[in-house]
Structure 1
């Protein structure tokens, strides 16, 4: 069920006390809920194109800079390349 979830916002790059990433999503009916980075990676195939692009670009940026919680980094490291391979990022930053 691709593109059933819409990315509303996140705290990627903005540390809280735990350093964990929090992401706000909405389903096709408009119900909003928060997920962790680990959960977002597992749901990547259901995210809207803007959400997939945000996930890939922002997580790569903070992972490269070392500003990421170890559990989030592990989830990103395990799935980041699969996400990148599954979705082609255009030169304008959009997902095709």
Structure 2
């Protein structure tokens, strides 16, 4: 039996918003939109858009905790920037600590050499 959604009125809801059903289990529900990794004296902020189209701002630690949900391009961009700025000493200490906790999960793979 089909259960129709309830209609809310202004008297029964504090916030009335638009809702859309989308399939769950998408491969990359968070899409990278930008960041300021290594570009200041404050902890970096990484901007990700969720499946609802909402822009979400996260710290490096939060983004790395969500790494399984971030699109491949965006995660690659974040990891590359963290690796670069960790090597030059330009990461904020909080960002560096978050990166050091997970950097072994992102090995550098040599693509050229004798054994190819």
- TM-score normalised by L of structure 1: 0.79
Aligned residue pair count: 86
CA contact (8 A) 2:82 2:99 kept: yes
Tell me the residue number matched to 1:94: none
1:80 alignment partner, one of 87, 97, 103: 103
Q: Which residue of 2 aligns with 1:10?
A: 35
The corresponding residue for 1:22 is: 45
- Structure in which a larger fraction of residues adopt helix: 1
RMSD (Å), alpha carbons? 2.1
Q: Which blocks of at least 5 consecutive residues in structure 1 are unaligned?
A: 92-96
Deviation at 1:71, TM superposition (A): 1.3
Q: Which is strand-richer, 1 or 2?
A: 1
- Whether contact under 8 Å (2:47, 2:56) holds in the other structure is yes
1:31 pairs with 27, 49, 54, which one?
A: 54
